[in-house]
Amino acid sequence: MTDRDIAMRHRSEVAVSVELETPGMTLNIGPQHPSTHGVLRLIANVDGERIISVQPVIGYMHRGYEKLSEVRTYVQITTLVNRIDWVAGFASEVPYIVAVERLMGVEPPERAQWIRLILSELARIASHLVFMSSYPLELGAITPLFHALRDRERVLELIEGVTGGRFHPNFNRVGGVKPAAGAGKQQRGVSQDIPAGWFAQTQSTMERIFGMCDDLDTLVVGNELFKARTVGVGIIPADRAIEYGLSGPNLRASGVPYDLRKVEPHLPYPEVEFNVISAESGDCHDRYVVRLNEIREAAKIVLQAVDKIPSGPLVAKVPRLIKVPKGQTYVRGENPKGEFGYYIISEGGQKPYRMKIRSTSFSNLSILPWILEGQLIPDLVAVMGSLDFVLGDVDR
């Protein structure tokens, strides 16, 4: 029997497989999946390797912060809000506390504002470094994780050095920031709020961050394998991003250079120089590059702020009992992930009547069903990861 004869015996099976259809099949991903950044479940309807539709199921981590904030006083709520986006806890505290200050008519001292600015930018670096490490990991590259997390730890040490907390600083007070333990009522000198040597440590850490960004540039951005997985994948056009309320790096990667630090600053951002990073095509690769360059800009801001920070008191004079006059206001800030805001309705008491939390990842994730339609299953993780969401921020 020749080889041809042997092969021909399988002819009928080949014919079947050529005609084999791949009808709609449901693929359940999560809620426990290594690349879901928490507990997110996706119900994907697939045809072979092609995704027909995706239904995200969220709410596994819903903690009801909007209800909880109705039963807590304004002072107690700070503890809640830095747990919404725990990767950048400090950044979510700032818009809340600014909103309360605006309703009360309190102006925090300059030094407190600069400390808030420095810590917000450090939180941005720490948050983006999580993305820098986890996103290549999801695509199969493990080395960037070690580079990024090693230097992220140094940034967290800086945050811990001032606030005492790595993830949940709870450092903002109505009218300023928390004075160091032992500072008491006299806030005479600089040494009482920032530990000695902290600024020098910050400068050397920022230098390391620049070097690490260059490493990632050569290691990840120009990498052929990384480009093959990300360039042209998961393109979000600008009009679609705006319609879904995408903000932050996700929006800027789609070619909309909108940055609240320039448009609506409530910290002294006009006094420092930095560029708004944006890209054109809106694919996964652009979203990575935008965040990488934002780390560099944030480090530049920190270095300038360290030079410019004035001395002075840390807290403005506020009543011992925080009561907020009747009124409604919305304050938003440029969180590392985008627009983060609080709409506070006060009826004149110690607790808000209602507080709406505009969490960034919720809107950023809501585009997922649209963007995944028609993609391949291997691209699902690449697209999902590139949105840089935190499930605590989605579920609140």
Partner 1 sequence: MKMSKRNGAGLTANQPEPTVTREEWAEGVADRLGGEAVVEFDTARIYVDREKWLSTIRRARDEEGLNFFSWLTGIDWSKEVEVGEGVEDVDGLDERFEVMCRLSSVENSDAAHFVARLPKDDAVIDSLVPLFGGAEWHEREAHDMFGIDFRGNPNLVNLYLPDAFVGHPLLKSFPLLTREVKPWPGDVDVEGMPGDDEEPGAET
8-state DSSP, 164: S
Determine the Cα–Cα distance for residues 209 and 215; give it in Å rounded to an integer. Answer: 10
Provide, rounded to whole angstroms, the least separation between the CB of residue 45 and partner 1: 14
Contact between 301 and 121 under an 8 Å Cβ cutoff? The reply is yes
The binding site for partner 1 (CB under 8 A) comprises 58-59, 62, 64, 66-68, 70-71, 76, 102-103, 240, 242-245, 251, 256-259, 262-265, 270, 276, 320-321, 326-330, 339, 341, 343, 345, 347-354, 356, 358, 362-363, 366-367, 370, 395
Cis ω before 31 (30° cut-off from 0): yes
Provide, rounded to whole angstroms, the least separation between the CB of residue 242 and partner 1: 5
Cα three-residue angle 299-305-310, rounded to 5 degrees: 165
**Sign of the C-alpha dihedral, residues 373, 278, 115, 320?**
negative
Provide, rounded to whole angstroms, the least separation between the CB of residue 108 and partner 1: 16
Residue 173's contacts (CB-CB under 8 Å, 6 or more residues apart) are: 75, 78, 97, 315
Nearer CB in complex with partner 1: 58/284: 58
**Residue keyed to tokens 């590059």:** 289
Which residue in 8, 55, 66 sits closest to 27, CA to CA? 55
Contact between 136 and 215 under an 8 Å Cβ cutoff? The reply is no
Provide, rounded to whole angstroms, the least separation between the CB of residue 64 and partner 1: 6
Provide, rounded to whole angstroms, the least separation between the CB of residue 311 and partner 1: 26
Nearer CB in complex with partner 1: 113/230: 113
Provide, rounded to whole angstroms, the least separation between the CB of residue 131 and partner 1: 22
Contact between 125 and 158 under an 8 Å Cβ cutoff? The reply is no
Nearer CB in complex with partner 1: 151/395: 395
Both structure tokens of 106: 């309190």
Residue 28's contacts (CB-CB under 8 Å, 6 or more residues apart) are: 41, 42, 43, 44
Provide, rounded to whole angstroms, the least separation between the CB of residue 16 and partner 1: 38
Nearer CB in complex with partner 1: 70/138: 70
Nearer CB in complex with partner 1: 207/271: 271
Beta-bridged to residue 322, according to DSSP, are: none
Nearer CB in complex with partner 1: 37/152: 37
Nearer CB in complex with partner 1: 102/166: 102
